[in-house]
Copies of this chain bind each other. A is one copy, B any other.
């Protein structure tokens, strides 16, 4: 296994151990939603950022799990009939179809609580003040000023014509905020004052901003390219469709150029790091080159 696969297996085990096993629909639906699927990009970023900073892996499990639980809860709620009304997620029936809508609402609610719960437990090796910093990062990035704000903008953006700035604002909140949190939480996985990390934290934040936006540009490109294959439409023919995308605003060539520039920016942000940041570099490459 390469190191991405090792960490993917690790987070799967951590999540499996955290989620109560039981026959009640609440336990079952929470496990169903979280386990056995997903690229685990956010936990991978937690471990990769921790590697770049020399943090003991054991200290990264809690923030890695917490950010994936937040992501998982947001997907359950996003898939609800009143939101995106999706039937499939990661190749399986969405939670409200596999169980029912009420269970999906509550499973999402409980996963959010669990995320903050595991970061509130004593984490040996991280002082309480830094644990609160980690909680501040995660609450700020996932709440009304972060991810949820992005989901609201997205809801109201369908059919609207957005500028590139408005599109970036939506994505910075909807996906960028959690990606940035994944990279920044490990900068507080220490005992005591971590002031010597200030410069590294700034560089990691730049890296996160670049890959966060790249993630979305690539998503938009994949959407159109898979349409081309499956529907026989021309690339870029989604420009007039309901949801604003980078190719629809910029055109496909400029969107690809933007993706290239964001990749360059992500790599240059890491230039002061040595081999310890290689996993961060690999993830950046994965994000801009992935096909699904």
Contacts and interface: CB of A to CB of B under 8 A. Distances in A.
Q: Describe A's contact surface by its main secondary structure.
A: helix
A140 B117 CA distance: 7
B152 A109 contact: no
B110 A83 contact: no
23 contacts: A20-B145, A25-B152, A26-B144, A26-B148, A26-B149, A26-B152, A82-B100, A82-B105, A83-B102, A102-B155, A105-B105, A106-B155, A109-B112, A112-B113, A113-B143, A113-B148, A114-B143, A120-B136, A122-B132, A127-B128, A128-B128, A128-B129, A131-B132
Copies in the complex: 2
Interface of A: 20, 24-27, 30, 73-74, 77, 80, 82-83, 96, 100-103, 105-106, 108-110, 112-114, 116-117, 120-122, 127-129, 131-132, 135-136, 139-140, 142-145, 148-149, 151-152, 155-156
Nearest to A137: B120
Contacts of A120: 132, 135-136, 139
A101 B83 CA distance: 8
A144 B77 contact: no
Nearest to A143: B113
Nearest to A29: B152
Of all A-B residue pairs in the complex, the 5 with the closest CB atoms, nearest first, are A113-B143, A82-B101, A117-B139, A128-B128, A120-B135
A116 B114 contact: no
Contacts of A114: 139, 143-144
A135 B106 contact: no
A112 B128 CA distance: 22
Given A101-B82, A128-B127, A144 B112 contact: no
B131 A117 contact: no
A108 B106 CA distance: 11
